[in-house]
Amino acid sequence: MKYDTRISGWGECALEFLHEDCNFLIIFNDSAPQELADISILHTAGELLADPCVGDTLCLCDQVYTITAIGEEALHTLKELGHCCLSFSGAKNALRPGNIELAGPTLREELLYAGGRLQIL
């Protein structure tokens, strides 16, 4: 287990990024400032025990994804703030420096729930 935390809730605009052409979520520790909390999936603070790598598994509320790329800033902000963008593009190169790109099933709003686990294995 490289990372293990639980979803505590989300801001009123956080799920809008799953729609249209965005297909990503912004995650932050519960300590995020309000202006960032409004657009983020919030989770309990967790310790990153080892760096995630391409090919690792990310589980989000019982949905399983494979990490396909990691942006150059994503590991730093995940360690320090519990923050990154989870992009469901399956891209082999990170689309943004703060992204972790994921391949797997389509994530729908109704699959997210408070108390659900966010894990990197």
State the architecture of 3-120 in CATH terms: Beta Barrel (2.40)
Whether 83 and 29 have beta carbons less than 8 Å apart is answered as yes
Task: Return d(Cα 52, Cα 116) in angstroms, integer.
Answer: 20
DSSP string, 62-91: TEEEEEEEE-TTHHHHHHHHS-EEEE-S--
Please state, as a whole number, how many other Cβ atoms lie within 10 Å of the Cβ of residue 12: 9
Do the Cβ atoms of 25 and 34 come closer than 8 Å?
Answer: no
- Taking the CA atoms of residue 43, residue 15, residue 69 and residue 103 in that order, the dihedral angle to the nearest 10 degrees is 110
Average pLDDT (78-107) is: 96
Q: Where are the domains of the chain?
A: 3-120
Cite the beta strand spans of the chain per DSSP E: 3-10, 24-29, 41-43, 57-60, 63-70, 84-87, 99-103, 117-120
Catalytic residues: 43
On the question of pLDDT at 91 being above 80, the answer is yes
Chain segment 30-83, per-residue pLDDT in tens:
999 999 999 999 999 999 999 999 999 999 999 999 999 999 999 999 999 999
What does the longest C-alpha to C-alpha distance in the chain come to?
Answer: 34
Answering whether pTM is above 0.75, one says: yes
